[in-house]
Copies of this chain bind each other. A is one copy, B any other.
């Protein structure tokens, strides 16, 4: 230390009020992104305060004070727990961690109405308590506690916020007796030693993040840096002591904000009246004692031991509160913005309505749509709404002029010049709606039983059969949305074989059927395409079920289970109104939406394809499942605006899912399929339906016919 006191050192009575350069905040956009996802995915409507870690560093660049910065890692990683979950990276010398707290409100009104005085006082009280209880000596960053209040409008990606750096106001205020560059106060030797000591302190991962320290300079001009808890032991050695802190401020005329609570601490805890402080500042990553300042301040000791200082600290710009609003929408990649916006509505469901909703199982589900007509277009759209991203669309047709008014993925342009292929147009247009979709359009007709194949086409039909089977095997959910009965046979067979979830929708003129097919016969392995949420329970149930499956008594039926005729050629010789499946325009959107909602319920049920068929009357109040009932069949009619759930079990003479048929397919493979396609009576002969018909006399069951014995009416 210089032998003479600082030449400009005024008398004790001639000092001015010590004034501090305000702290300034800086928030990285990553912080808001992280906050958004935390809010959406974890917090929901929970408005509990969130523990933060802010970062700062000593001033290091000319003309600029350092900010207190929030980064994405300022927020806790899920799950939220108080304080303990903060990961501070003490090793990063440029990110000294500082504890903070965030009050993020759910609404703008709540934000505006927050009691800021009270919130600030709460934080100040924590600082005061930490001082009085000695916690600050253990962790000096507690002196820098900060507070943020915010309202995050996740719909528009805009964020309003205000920082506070609570400062305990000692009264009367400290008086500044002198303030000069450290090099002017210290001898060259002292300065050199202090520089070295500071650089060592800042380069050790143990101390780099500790912003308050004691500088002890012995009579040999050797400086050492000591943590605050060494205060007692510093008392005996007669060394000169300076109270150092990382100073973010760049001004030569003032110390930075951290000194404020430091002085209060020194005053309250150590009862000093005269303090020589050291504003530690850097250049190019090293201690620089030319820009670092040393000052002398006088403090009045408070007389009352439980004196509660006043508190200030809301960030200001000039005289106004530094209330900020940032919109990220413009800076975000539009496609990414679209993806996050699309997820918004879904994630919001978990805030209040269905906290246990499993959205990932939907997002990752691979869905295969067989048919992209009125039903297929709307199913694709509703899947989009549920956040499903992977869609494969199969259709052999082209977009015709009559399609766009009812098939919601096509426009007039798709009809021109003979019409685009539906599968391709649908895939392309889904991407135009939502670029994050992973769609594939496959132009393929579904081979149908009872439609004999000319010899020269056998090879290509066989290819189609194999392709279809491979598609079904590689997807998680199959939607059967074709407009003929017999085109549903082969997908039903393959899904039964692969034990895939199949959802079937069919339209009449003013009535609709939406149903899921049951599991395949003799299933002994769990469905491993989509993991069950509760594996143990599911496995136990599966064992139980596979026993029952052998008897085929408890399996849910498929579309063909209540038939006594095998699927045959139904397209020939149909009049135009029959060919076009004339339906009321509102029917397809209803049936398609119900299909997807049913899928959502199935995928959120722990037993998935094995979920028992529920009917509304069997459930009192809400279903046990997060999204509600998982029925087997939903049938409705617009002419009465009524809808009901039904349950029907599998039939042992079913032409599509019975053990007899599956066994035959499993042993003979595509030969069996070709025989079924080429020989109209083969399936009936195989399953015994022929005898059944001969015994009972021919009758026809229409699904509109609610006297169907296999169905229990709600």
Contact (Cβ within 8 A) A634 B645:
no
Say yes or no: B641 contacts A634, CB within 8 Å.
yes
A155-B580 contact given A402-B345, A594-B590, A639-B622, CB 8 Å threshold: yes
A584 at the interface (CB under 8 A from B): yes
A45 interface hit (Cβ, 8 Å): yes
Q: How many residues on A have C-beta within 8 angstroms of the other chain's C-beta atoms?
A: 96
Contact of A641 among B45, B109, B406, B645 (CB under 8 A): B645
Candidate in A402, A434, A598 with the most chain B CB atoms within 10 angstroms: A402
Is B580 touching A344 in the complex (CB atoms < 8 A)? yes
Chain B's nearest CB lies how many Å from the CB of A242?
51
Which one, B348, B412, B616, B636, contacts A577 given CB within 8 A?
A: B348
Residue A405 contacts which of B45, B433, B594 (CB distance < 8 angstroms)?
B433
A577-596 contacts to B (CB < 8 Å)? 577, 579-580, 582-587, 589-590, 592-594, 596
Return the chain B residue nearest A437 by Cβ. B405
Q: Does A384 contact B (CB under 8 A)?
A: yes
Interface string of A333-356 (1 = CB under 8 A from B): 011011011101100110111100
Please tell me if the beta carbons of A575 and B107 are within 8 angstroms of each other in the complex.
Answer: yes
Is the C-beta of A670 less than 8 angstroms from some C-beta in chain B? no
Pair B155/A378 contact, Cβ less than 8 Å: no
* A643: nearest chain-B partner, CB-CB: B643
The proximity string for A residues 610-654 relative to B, scoring 1 for CB distances below 8 Å and 0 otherwise, is 000000100100110001110100101111111111000000000
CA distance in complex: A583, B576 (Å) = 38
- A402 touching B580 in the complex, CB below 8 Å, given contacts A636-B643, A643-B641: no
For residue A712, CB closer than 8 A to chain B, the reply is no
Integer count of this chain's copies in the complex: 2
A319 at the interface (CB under 8 A from B): no
Instruction: Determine the chain B residues whose CB is within 8 A of the CB of A622 once the complex forms.
Output: 639
Structural contact, A580 and B645, CB atoms closer than 8 A: no
Q: Kindly state whether residue A181 has any CB partner on chain B within 8 Å.
A: no
Query: Of B338, B582, B583, B594, which one neighbours A412 at CB under 8 angstroms?
Result: B338
**A645 touching B643 in the complex, CB below 8 Å, given contacts A411-B432, A575-B107:** no
On chain B, the residues within 8 Å of A644 by CB distance are 642
Question: Given A580-B348, A582-B353, are A404 and B433 also a contact pair (CB < 8 Å)?
Answer: yes
The closest CB in chain B to the CB of A575 belongs to B106
* A153 neighbours in B (Cβ, 8 Å): 576
Q: Is A169 part of the binding interface, using a Cβ–Cβ cutoff of 8 Å?
A: no
Q: Bound state CA distance, A639 and B406, in angstroms?
A: 27
Name the residue among A405, A510, A644 with the largest chain B CB count within 10 angstroms. A405
Q: Are B592 and A341 in contact (CB under 8 A)?
A: no
Contact indicator B109/A572 (Cβ below 8 Å): yes
Within 8 A of B (CB), among A416-456: 416, 429, 432-435
For A45, the chain B residues whose CB sits under 8 A away are 575, 577
A332 CB to nearest chain B CB (Å): 9
> Is A483 part of the binding interface, using a Cβ–Cβ cutoff of 8 Å?
no
A544 within 8 A of B: no
> Which A residues between 245 and 262 are near B, CB-CB below 8 angstroms?
none
Contact (Cβ within 8 A) A642 B645: yes
Contact present for A110 and B573 (CB under 8 Å): yes
Q: Which of A44, A340, A572, A584 has the most CB of B within 10 A?
A: A584
CB pair B586–A594 under 8 Å, yes or no, is: yes
Beta-carbon contact of B386 and A585 below 8 Å? yes
Q: Assess whether A640 is in contact with B636, with CB atoms less than 8 Å apart.
A: no
| CB-based contact A348/B576 at 8 Å | yes
Complex formed: what's the CA distance from A649 to B61 in Å? 75
Kindly state the separation between the CA atoms of A643 and B512 in the bound complex, as whole angstroms.
14
The answer, yes or no, to whether A264 is at the interface (CB within 8 Å) is no
Contact with A597, one of B107, B573, B586 (Cβ below 8 angstroms): B586
Chain B residues positioned under 8 Å from A404 (CB to CB): 338, 342, 433-434
Interfacial chain B residues near A524, Cβ < 8 Å: none
A384 closest partner in B (C-beta): B405
A19 CB within 8 Å of chain B: no
> In the docked arrangement, what's the CA distance between A401 and B412, Å?
24
Cross-chain contact B582 with A593 (CB below 8 angstroms): no
Q: Is A408 interfacial (CB-CB < 8 Å)?
A: yes
Given the known interface contacts A401-B334, A402-B155, the answer about A641 and B594 at a Cβ–Cβ threshold of 8 Å is yes
| Across-interface contacts of A342 in B (CB, < 8 A) | 401-402, 404-405
A616 CB, nearest partner CB in chain B, Å: 5
Q: With A382-B586, A639-B628, A643-B642 given, is the CB distance from A345 to B623 under 8 Å? A: no
B352–A577 touching, CB < 8 Å: yes
CB contacts (< 8 Å) of A405 on chain B: these are 342, 381, 384-385, 433-434
Alpha-carbon distance between A593 and B627 when the two chains are bound, in angstroms: 22
Residues of B within 8 A of A510 (CB): 353, 627-628
Check: A668 CB closer than 8 A to any chain B CB: no
Contact assessment for B402 and A585 in the assembled complex, using a CB-CB cutoff below 8 Å: no
- A537 in contact (CB, < 8 A): no
Q: By the criterion CB–CB under 8 Å, are B619 and A628 in contact?
A: no
Which residues of A pack against B, CB within 8 Å? 44-45, 106-107, 109-110, 153-156, 329, 334-335, 337-338, 340-342, 344-345, 348-349, 351-354, 378, 381-382, 384-386, 400-406, 408, 410-413, 415-416, 429, 432-435, 509-510, 572-577, 579-580, 582-587, 589-590, 592-594, 596-598, 600, 616, 619, 622-623, 627-629, 631, 634, 636-645, 714
For the A-B complex with A584-B627, A643-B643 known, give 10 more contacts whose Cβ atoms are closer than 8 Å: A109-B572, A156-B400, A349-B582, A354-B509, A411-B432, A412-B435, A634-B641, A640-B645, A641-B643, A642-B643
Q: Sort A-B residue pairs by CB-CB distance and give the 3 closest, nearest first.
A: A385-B585, A628-B639, A586-B593
Q: Give 14 pairs: A residue, B residue, CB < 8 Å, sorted on A.
A: A106-B575, A334-B401, A345-B402, A348-B577, A349-B582, A352-B575, A353-B510, A385-B585, A404-B433, A410-B433, A586-B596, A616-B642, A628-B641, A634-B641
